[in-house]
Amino acid sequence: LDAALLRPGRFDRQIYIPVPDIKGRASIFRVHLAKLKTTLDKVELSRKLAALTPGFSGADVANVCNEAALVAARDAGNEIIFKNFEQAIERVVAGMEKKSQVLQPEEKKVVAFHEAGHAITGWFLKHADPLLKVSIIPRGKGLGYAQYLPREQYLYSTEQLLDRMCMMLGGRVSEEIFFGRVTTGAQDDLQKITEMAYSQIVKFGMSKKVGPLSFTEGSNFQKPYSETTAELIDQEVRNLVDTAYKRTHELLESKKPQIETVAERLLQNEIISREDLIELLGPRPFAEKQTYEEFVAGTGGLDEDITLPKGLESWNKSVNLEDNSETKVS
């Protein structure tokens, strides 16, 4: 909207509507599940799906339900089962499976070790997101992908951000360790890492050398700082990424047997689940939340509070009374 429309007296109350939290997603899932054919308990199902879909918008939730119905129909199922919802979430997150895209054996091996590198790095770093599934079946633009369960949090420390960067670097570092070279497969990872590193230095003031400053991009793409500061920022970003790279390299060098084990299972089965990883690696050495009940613990109840303020509890009743009185008069 034009700034003139937002002046006082025109739009005094501006309401920001973020994506729903886990309780909000559960409520939205219940609405869309109501019309679907399934013998699953829909309240319990809505909570499970809400826990698996952090960051999803209301439209994403609707899309998951529609996709699950389509998957069940393609499989000639009489009803929608939980596996159909899991497949639908994968489609929304990572895109459609490309079963027709055949990888050469050498490429497939590289992808397997790349994804195993991500999996092992995340498994042994405290602040990495819990891993749900790893696949080397091409989806969307990627040749493989790892599905995580990100925590819904609003504040991040430098330690948490560093672990996330290391997890993203795990694929490229694994390629370097096992093949002595790197491929173009890590392009998306590197782009995300670069953006994250610049955000820490430029926006969040997490560099001691640059200081507690936060810069926003100026008009016409002009940097709101001097060339000297720009050089310092670039150097700090490089230092941050180098630190994450060295840390990841040290971790994966010490976990080479585990990477090989996971990569071999991937080459054999193409998809491995969290349960497979526990079998291969043992339980993850850090406490983590997995269920809806664990995520909402301490938030005042299992479901979203949708009670109206006292002054609005009967607002629609008065409208109904007026409508009824008008009907009688006529």
- Give the active site residues: 115
Residues 96 and 75: their CA atoms lie apart, in Å, by 16
Residue in 169, 163, 160, 199 with CA at minimum distance from that of residue 187: 169
Is 171 within 8 Å of 114 (Cβ atoms)? Answer: yes
Q: How many CA atoms lie within 13 A of 249 on its CB side?
A: 9
Residue 56, judged by CB atoms within 10 A of its CB (0-12, 13-18, 19+), counts as buried
Q: Where are the beta strands (DSSP E) in the chain?
A: 131-135, 145-148, 271-273
Note the residue count of the chain: 330
Q: Which two tokens stand for residue 195?
A: 């953006």
Q: Assign residue 316 a region: left if phi > 0, alpha if psi is -120 to 50, beta otherwise?
A: alpha
Contacts of 64 (CB under 8 A, 6+ apart): 49, 53, 56, 85, 88, 89, 92
Q: Which two tokens stand for residue 157?
A: 């420390």
Q: Which two tokens stand for residue 81?
A: 């089962």
Residues 136 and 53: their CA atoms lie apart, in Å, by 21
At 250, is the secondary structure helix, strand, or coil? helix
